[in-house]
Amino acid sequence: METMNQMEIYHKLTECLGANDTQREEPLNKHTTYKIGGVADYFVTPRDIKSLRMIISLCKEYNLPYYIIGNGSNLLVGDKGFRGVIIQIFQNMSQVKVEGERIFVEAGALLSKVASIALKNHLKNLEFASGIPGTFGGAVMMNAGAYGGEMKDVIESVRIIDEEGEIKTLSVEELKLGYRRSILMEKSYIVIDGILKLDKGEVQEISDLMEEYKERRSSKQPLEWPSAGSTFKRPEGYFAGKLVADAGLAGFQVGGAKVSEKHCGFVVNAGGATAADVVSLMEQVSNIVEEKYGVKLEPEVKFVGEF
């Protein structure tokens, strides 16, 4: 891409969003929980659906690659960054509104914030989400879950932008939510907001359950280190962390990337890790586990950009 074209694209982006919400050469390690990643050519933070649709339309017009992120909690960005536009749907689109037993949530709202609001409004069944670090949009996309609860249990409907830029409403059935999958992944739909349907409950019971989950997380997960959460998907009939531990890989390290001794299902940034370190470690762990137990570990973390 020529320099002139880059500037032209930058000016077009700022026309859509304004200079405050448009960045060039933005380091993506600032925008992921892994604290890893090179720079994005452009980094934009739309404030509403209209500006989001304008940005997507612009990207298609200029044949610019684009990728949607929330708070970057399940991403590994390549060391060479991202050639194109990173569209962050996060704090600028994070409104939450309660009406009776329903919660209207914009895609950029943190799931933990939504769970906290549910608690304040005496609404139960979202306790499992209180410690999940992702946004609502990302949680819907991958059907996030923990401690026996999943997004598919609480979603009533979701509004999305489809491949043609049109806004559609999908019911929970139409989302086809399964273990770490949804129709949103297959179709490249973008979540803009949705409705959760919860039940009335006792505040103390809801609070106690959230506190129990919090204690379980802090005692079993390496929350003190940057990570992208669970590194590998759960193989059918197994637990990824146990397979890694049984293979003797607790504390296994490549550069700054390390298998957590606290929970072997997490590969953490133990200090100065590069994306190359993480990828190398993941490949070695996966190969060793497959060699020992005949089980292939698949990444749960999503890879973005150039490695």
pLDDT tens digits, 288-300:
999 999 999 999 9
Residue 6: band (very low, low, confident or very high) from pLDDT cuts 50, 70, 90: confident
Return the pLDDT at 8: 87
Among 51, 73, 230, 260, which one carries the catalytic annotation? 230
Q: What is the pLDDT of residues 43-70, one digit of tens each?
A: 999 999 999 999 999 999 889 999 999 9
State the average pLDDT for the chain: 95
* 82 & 98 share domain: no
- Whether the pLDDT of residue 2 is over 60: the answer is no
Mark which of 90, 123, 146 sits at the end of a domain: 90
278 closest CA partner among 76, 113, 127, 119: 76
- Whether the pLDDT of residue 5 is over 90: the answer is no
Return the pLDDT at 41: 96
* 108 & 85 share domain: no
Tally of CB atoms within 10 A around 117: 17
* 240 & 214 share domain: no
Give the Cα separation of 277 and 254 in Å (integer).
6
* 53 & 100 share domain: no
Q: What is the pLDDT of residues 166-219, one digit of tens each?
A: 999 999 999 999 988 899 988 989 999 999 999 999 999 999 999 999 999 999
* 259 & 189 share domain: no
Among 101, 261, 290, 300, which one carries the catalytic annotation? 300
Residue with tokens 């002139």: 4
- Whether the pLDDT of residue 259 is over 90: the answer is yes
Return the pLDDT at 3: 42
* 69 & 101 share domain: no
* 144 & 196 share domain: yes
Residue 1: band (very low, low, confident or very high) from pLDDT cuts 50, 70, 90: very low
Q: Looking at the 3D structure of the chain, how many domains does it have?
A: 3
Residue 115: band (very low, low, confident or very high) from pLDDT cuts 50, 70, 90: very high
130 among known catalytic residues: no
Return the pLDDT at 179: 86
* 231 & 199 share domain: no
180 among known catalytic residues: yes
CATH of the domain at 185: 3.30.465.10
Q: What is the pLDDT of residues 211-224, one digit of tens each?
A: 999 999 999 999 99
Question: Do 136 and 128 meet the contact criterion of CB atoms below 8 Å apart?
Answer: no
* 247 & 285 share domain: yes
272 closest CA partner among 288, 287, 253: 253
Residue 7 burial (10 A CB sphere; 0-12, 13-18, 19+)? exposed
* 74 & 98 share domain: no
Among 73, 180, 182, 286, which one carries the catalytic annotation? 180
CATH of the domain at 44: 3.30.43.10
Question: Do 67 and 86 meet the contact criterion of CB atoms below 8 Å apart?
Answer: yes
Mark which of 171, 192, 219 sits at the end of a domain: 219
The neighbouring-strand residues paired with 265 are none
Mark which of 62, 90, 118 sits at the end of a domain: 90
Residue 93: band (very low, low, confident or very high) from pLDDT cuts 50, 70, 90: very high
Domain extent, residue 226, equals 221-304
Return the pLDDT at 129: 94
CATH of the domain at 241: 3.90.78.10
80-85 average pLDDT score? 97
* 130 & 44 share domain: no
Return the pLDDT at 55: 95
* 174 & 281 share domain: no
24 among known catalytic residues: no
Cα dihedral sign, 64-67-68-70 = negative
